[in-house]
């Protein structure tokens, strides 16, 4: 995955958080007060972090046509995370995304 620096990653991730926030608002509108907005932004941030961690490529991460199914899968997966650690099956390929992203920036 190629980026021109940390700033590119931050911009992409912030844009994704806004998209996720908007999806959350469409699916289940919240009251317009600041506390509710902050709560939704917190959920959007955590979901985006999950998407970033499991993406294999920048294209996978940014793919708008699969965004909602990936979010649904991530939410369902979080529910499964309450199982004991030894019963969970994690993919090493998915975990390595952050390391690859760092290498491609020329650490």
**Does residue 71 fall inside a structural domain?**
yes
Residue 82 lies in a domain: yes
16 inside domain: yes
To 5 degrees, how large is the angle CA 51–CA 54–CA 49?
35
Q: Does pTM surpass 0.95?
A: no
Residue 57 lies in a domain: yes
Looking at the predicted structure, is the pLDDT value of residue 88 above 70? Answer: no
Q: Is residue 1 part of a domain?
A: no
Number of domains in the chain: 1
User: Quick one: how far is CA 15 from the chain centroid?
Assistant: 11
Mean pLDDT confidence for 67-77: 92
Please give the residue that has the higher pLDDT: either 37 or 98.
37
Band (44; pLDDT cuts 50, 70, 90): very high
* Residues spanned by the domain of 66: 6-104
Q: What was the pLDDT predicted at 17? A: 97
- In a domain, residue 36? The reply is yes
């Amino acid at each position: 995955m190629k980026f021109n620096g940390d700033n590119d990653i931050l911009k992409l991730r912030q844009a994704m958080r806004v998209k996720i926030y908007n999806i959350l608002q469409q699916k289940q509108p919240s009251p317009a007060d600041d506390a509710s907005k902050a709560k939704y932004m917190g959920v959007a941030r955590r979901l985006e972090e999950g998407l970033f961690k499991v993406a294999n490529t920048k294209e996978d991460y940014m793919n708008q046509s699969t965004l909602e199914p990936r979010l649904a899968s991530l939410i369902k997966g979080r529910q499964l995370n309450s199982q004991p650690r030894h019963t969970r099956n994690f993919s090493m390929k998915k975990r390595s995304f952050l390391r690859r992203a760092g290498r491609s920036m020329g650490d």
